[in-house]
């Protein structure tokens, strides 16, 4: 059995209490597959008021997080886990996606640094961490929710965390395709019926239908993903007929 350990540095440790104590993350921690440790950045401030931010040089709005407490926190955590991969949550980082999540799921130790205010001193990104990652092209008020998104996405890829290992293989972005549509009871909801093929019992037809639907949906919603995919001649033709190839 393998354990993935996350060390999270934040000024709001309380934010992590509930999300990491429910559902899959909670079970993964109980099974010993996931070890999450939250560190209060203010414990690493030498300032008598536990300040961890200051005015930006050159002027500008808001406050910037100091490099020293963050550097001190990382160094302290690394005394136990010197090889930990260290990541700063940042809207200016490389995009976080399923491929990145698979890559991180193979690590043993990850340190996530959560910024706040107007961001963090540039020297954190340059000299204290291995990389910066962004969860999307939008700005949140802090790195805590991005860090939770990373933990939750990576955690479900650790062997043993989900009951059925196949569920992560067939999901959106695994191909890279968006997932095919799923239906459950009732078969008829106000006249909106479940596609006949899904109740036909013919597994080959069901698989063909699911693949076609995944292709169509991806072509419609995320055509950029299709560029990375090897399509059969038949599939290329089908998409051309739909005028989305
Ligand atoms: N002034 C910064 C800028 O324009 O890039 C935004 C700072 S944001 C208000 C404060 C912190 O939230 C960041 O330092 C980062 O840790 C986190 N954050 C905000 N949006 C994020 C995103 N899309 N991905 C990852 N972290 C994000």
Domains along the chain? 4-155 (3.40.1280.10), 176-241 (1.10.1270.20)
- pLDDT single digits (tens) 93-108: 999 999 999 999 999 9
pLDDT of amino acid 160: 94
Q: Do 103 and 79 touch, CB atoms closer than 8 A? A: no
Mean per-residue pLDDT for 118-142?
98
Model pTM score: 0.93
Give the torsion sign (CA, 238, 240, 242, 244). Answer: positive
State in Å: Cα 67 to ligand 1 middle: 16
Ligand 1 closest atom vs CA 133: 25
Pocket test for ligand 1, best of 119, 131, 147 (most atoms within 8 A of CB): 119
Ligand 1 binding pocket, CB closer than 6 Å: 89-92, 114-116, 118-120, 134-136, 138-143, 146
Q: Which of 90, 118, 124 to mutate to test the pocket of ligand 1 (most atoms within 8 A of CB)?
A: 90
What is the C-alpha to C-alpha distance for residues 218 and 212, in angstroms, rounded to an integer?
A: 10
Which pLDDT band, with edges at 50, 70 and 90, does 166 fall under? low
């Amino acid at each position: 059995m393998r354990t993935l350990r996350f060390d999270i540095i934040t000024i709001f440790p309380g934010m992590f209490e509930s999300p990491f104590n429910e559902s899959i993350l909670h079970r993964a921690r109980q099974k010993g597959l996931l070890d999450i440790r939250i560190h209060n950045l203010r414990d690493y401030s030498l300032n008598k008021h536990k300040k961890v931010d200051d005015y930006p040089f050159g002027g500008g709005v808001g406050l910037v997080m100091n490099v020293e407490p963050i550097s001190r926190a990382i160094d302290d955590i690394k005394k136990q886990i010197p090889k930990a991969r260290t990541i700063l949550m940042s809207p200016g980082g490389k995009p976080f996606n399923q491929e990145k999540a698979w890559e991180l799921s193979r690590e043993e130790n990850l340190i996530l640094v959560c910024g706040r205010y107007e961001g963090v001193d540039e020297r954190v990104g340059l000299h204290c961490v291995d990389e910066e990652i962004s969860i999307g092209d939008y700005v949140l008020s802090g790195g805590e929710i991005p860090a939770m998104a990373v933990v939750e996405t990576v955690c479900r890829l650790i062997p043993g965390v989900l009951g059925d290992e196949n569920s992560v293989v067939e999901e959106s972005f695994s191909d890279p395709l968006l997932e095919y549509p799923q239906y459950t009871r009732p078969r008829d909801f106000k006249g909106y019926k479940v596609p006949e093929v899904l109740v036909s019992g013919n597994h080959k037809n069901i698989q063909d239908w699911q693949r076609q639907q995944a292709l169509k949906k991806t072509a419609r919603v995320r055509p950029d993903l299709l560029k990375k995919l090897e399509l059969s001649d038949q599939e290329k033709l089908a998409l051309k007929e739909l005028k989305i190839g």
